[in-house]
Structure 1
């Protein structure tokens, strides 16, 4: 029957259970009617579980089709509508695309509540924001601004140079982002700027401070204390246009009038969400752009294969700088048999000369593949890799004299013996950032040597002679740019087994080359072929185009989409049956920990059908109560897990 009422709330329950991924109807008691509005946090009873759960009101209605008495809302936790209609719609679309739960996405979008912060925000009157004057991005034609103002979608090739701002030096890409954001604000709309990590955030914030008042800038990042992050989140709920800067989760920020979404370096793995439903920030941004009609910019020194696919489809427009200012890249062989310097410090004599000349006037960057002292240890007698006796993890060492320890559990290997030959001595294989610093310190006597890696974090270095040994992605910015850049360990990086190894290497090298001063040499050591040519000619888009063509022939992502189905043998077999007519093929299943795994490959057009079918199987498996209880008692893994666009099988 139809129940007529003026006070029925449709609630999304905060639960990881897939069978609860829908809206539940509750009657609003009269005493809660004033505060029970769409977007607020509530507590509701669950009849089947006999407990109270948290949730969000998604919408209000005056009638529902239900043959029984509706339960009452337990309470309204807060009158603040933290779940905006735009974010809810996005969360539902993102979850459906990845066969996941909308509440998992909302949990990424809406921070934990802090009562004190919320009360202060409610008590503070909204302050009028200063006006904004648009700034044109230097180095680009008018077509870029025209695309932003018309809600266009752009794949932007960044200018590989540094720019000076009042807080120091930043990448030119950061000043471009800041300029585009001013155009969005001048039109009365907000801008979301998503970058991979805190280093990039500092650059964007420094560039924004040059062109915008602080009242217009919100820094929203998961690294912030929870209370501070919640306060920044509440600022985004207002009607005043803002520029919102953050990492991957910022694409879910509650910007009602959204005029621009910009992602820097969308190929960076830090944009891949580590929590269910594991949706990449780029995919969430694509859905939000389509939903709200904002302009979209995917920018980088290199182009990801995903972005290149969208360019070829005509969905993104490729925009390049007005004048190419590419770095001066020099390709150098690894070493000659009689090259003493190459044997001593892992750089050929030609690269040593470039570094020596650069040190005469300023800092020199040396990029290496790994942090630490040695990449791994082996038995000095038999050559087998040294492993921990506790957890079988690889042993590493931080210096020439330090006691080796396990890279996984941290246990010291003070009395280690090889299980293969009973040998008690180690031999170090490979060189990390610390050992490279020692070697180069001997090759460049008297030069100051600085290390920048996970344990030695540096954001900037002064304009003074110094050797800066940095791991990929941890390179600090030098005032005015590096006088030379040496890219070592290229052959080791390329040898990594991964589908994305080529574009990853090109991205690491290009980002490092963009830190060079104008005219400074960028020396790539020991790499040849298409990768080296793309870097030397600064034609990364051509490499992305060829990479995508190769993946099309092999039917690898992103030419097609994939999903992994993992679980017990029977559950996986049943889950695959409904989708076999909609997919290209099924690889496997193969044995993995906790059961078996199959890889489903399918065209983008079949994505909704495949996601819907697999989601139904996940719910069916989760609601098999007796089987679930039996597995839980036995300590077994869940019957079925589905992950779309899973990169793990290809790494």
Structure 2
């Protein structure tokens, strides 16, 4: 068919090639005229590759009189319109902001097709608008009223940051009641809500809180641990007009609900919100983009609620520029945090000061005590007993660790047992335990508190909840179980100095988040001992002024132009490809400061020489910088394809360029 007559479908192809990240026109054959509508899955021929690929129809319009022939659609996969216009607009905007492909975003948003589930949905009746009971709505409103003006701000579609109460309520963390109340009030107004949380434990707690307020059939769970049919069934429910509450992990922010009234995120500083797949968009950034898009297209913009026990520097920057509004509770509650240090009269190097030890002993008479440690296992680190050199594997040079007391050391990298090990520096056959993990700490505390039950909670020993009875709960950061009743009678935060030594730009705010979340599990008035740490992070925890710490972090990073004060893009690829991309960037973005580019520096790319560079740019130049970098990625991909065709062996040179924007912890 030639352009100039008939209807055409503009299709987004499901391809990883960056040069195909655009809409392609296909002629609609007569037999598919009724089925080829926007949003459906289709099969389309890719002439250059000589094969048929999957895709989505984004638009249907009249063919342009260009005189060039158009290929016809090969077929329509199903009648389900799984790509509404609002979802494509979000994917396109998010991908452009991250210099990525829209189809990569859609892979996160649209689950794999389940034929049986889809057929059942197409033949079933659509859901009816849910009704929230008046007494439950009153309970939700009462909880929200603890934050003066919060209900009004949510109804107006404002962007709000607030601190959640660091306590338990009805056996659950109070933040679950806060997020559930906000979602329920939005649902009662006839609009949908989307709440994203870091992991499955938070998701279970939030779901439990919603069961007490909202109708069960109005809650849609979006969880990676679900089966394929369940996840696809929930996705299809979000396409319907009836409002609902979507809860899930990082990809839940893309749920294509209609009449969106609220996007909520709990604990946005958790690294689980960082998407590990291209284009690596943080869930918070996607939520901000979505709130802006939906707010521009309707007279009822959705609200954005960012909540946590701490304040990330990213959110604090938005508060400082006035983009996000801070709402405070009418009654402030702070845990009883005590900074504990080893005194001169105690044994040097003591892990638990006498004050913290006494607090744990007294608290055990009433209920459970939480002990947070930095690492799992028995002895995460081993050193030579004579020269103190790190103990390394003879096969791969990986670090050795002790899986149990008296056990043969094992390599963390290759898993080999280090039998007959000898130090490479001094030839000594003896090793020394250089650190204590969760199991070794439990062993030591079991001897210090004979007759007391000791519970280990870490990645290998998941524990969701402990009884309201005397027990020592040794947990790694983020794996702390809930304590029944009012919470833990005492909390000991160990290994703080070791946590702060991690070579990470955000390690201070990460530690503050770990400690704050653990302190929030304590019973009212229970002592929370932070052991062996002083400085700004410790003072922020003791005074419960996390936003002030975030502001100080922003002030320190501003002269260095480090995130989130500035955005950072990382370029990796062939030396010539990186140089070309940087040269193009300076042409496309005039006025880019000289100090904006760090590098390039040489790197090894699996045996091929390569280069890496960082580009720091302000938010105002973001669109221009990402457009230039994306154009360079496409140009290099097209050049590599041409080189492959011209190569005698059909092998392209290693000049593919990879770009990642908004690097959380940039390293050159």
TM-score normalised by the shorter chain: which range applies? Answer: over 0.9
Following TM superposition, by how much is the alpha carbon of 1:50 offset from its aligned partner in structure 2, in angstroms?
0.3
In the alignment, is the contact (CA less than 8 A) between 2:156 and 2:303 conserved in 1?
A: yes
Describe how 1:159-558 pairs up with structure 2 within 5 A.
159-164=165-170, 169-293=171-295, 294-333=302-341, 335-339=342-346, 346-479=351-484, 480-558=486-564
Name the counterpart of 1:647: 664
TM-score by length of structure 1 reads 0.96
Kept after mapping to 2: 8 A contact 1:397/1:405: yes
| Equivalence for 1:93 | 93
Alpha-carbon distance in structure 2 between the residues aligned to 1:98 and 1:435? 44
- Helix, strand or coil for the counterpart of 2:461? coil
Q: Distance in 1 between matches of 2:253 and 2:550?
A: 25
**Is the CA contact 2:568–2:661 (under 8 Å) kept in the aligned structure 1?**
yes
- Give structure 1 stretches of 5+ with no counterpart: none
**Deviation larger for 220-229 or 189-198:** 220-229
In the superposition, relative to structure 1, how do residues 636 and 481 fare at CA in structure 2: closer, same or farther (>3 Å)? farther
* Distance apart, 1:10 and its partner CA: 0.5
Q: What's the offset of the Cα at 1:648?
A: 4.2
Q: Give the drift of 1:337.
A: 5.0
Q: Structure 1 stretch 640-649 or stretch 70-79: which is displaced more?
A: 640-649
Runs of 4+ in 1 over 4 A off after TM superposition: 628-638
Q: CA deviation at 1:63?
A: 2.4
Counterpart CA distance in 2 for 1:544 and 1:563 is: 23
How far the C-alpha of 1:69 sits from its partner, in A, is: 1.4
Corresponding residue of 1:621: 636
CA distance in 2, matches of 1:453, 1:20: 44
Cα distance in 2 for partners of 1:234, 1:29 equals 28
CA offsets per residue over residues 19-75 of structure 1, 9 Å max, x none?
000000111112222221111111110101101111111111112353311111111
Alignment pair present for 1:151 and 2:151: no
- Equivalent residues of 2:2, 2:70 under 8 A apart: no
- 424-433 vs 174-183, greater mean Cα deviation: 424-433
2:452–2:471: 8 Å Cα contact kept in structure 1? yes
Return 5+ residue gaps in structure 2 as ranges: 296-301
Tell me if structure 2 keeps the 8 A contact 1:561–1:645. yes
Q: Against the structure 1 CA distance between its residues 213 and 386, is the aligned structure 2 distance closer, same or farther, given a 3 Å change threshold?
A: same
Give the Cα–Cα distance (whole angstroms) in 2 for the partners of residues 531 and 174 of structure 1: 26
How many equivalent residue pairs?
644
**TM-score normalised by length of structure 2:** 0.93
Aligned equivalents of 1:337, 1:631: Cα separation in 2: 75
**CA distance in structure 2 between the aligned counterparts of 1:128 and 1:379, rounded to whole angstroms:** 68
The alpha carbon displacement at 1:5 in A equals 4.0
Q: CA deviation at 1:13?
A: 0.5
Q: Deviations for 1:499-529, whole angstroms, at most 9, x for unmatched residues? A: 1011111111111100000010111111111
**Counterpart among 579, 600, 624 of residue 573 in structure 1:** 579
What secondary structure, in the 3-state scheme, does the structure 2 residue paired with 1:64 have? coil
Q: What is the alpha-carbon root mean square deviation over aligned residues?
A: 1.9
Q: Does 1:27 align with 2:33?
A: no
Judge conservation of contact 2:371–2:474 (CA < 8 Å) in 1: yes
**Contact 1:99 / 1:614 at 8 angstroms: preserved in 2?**
yes
Q: Cα offset for 1:637?
A: 5.0
Contact 1:582 1:610 in 2 (8 A): no
User: Out of 609, 612, 621, which is 1:597 matched to?
Assistant: 612
| Cα distance in 2 for residues equivalent to 1:303 and 1:174 | 17
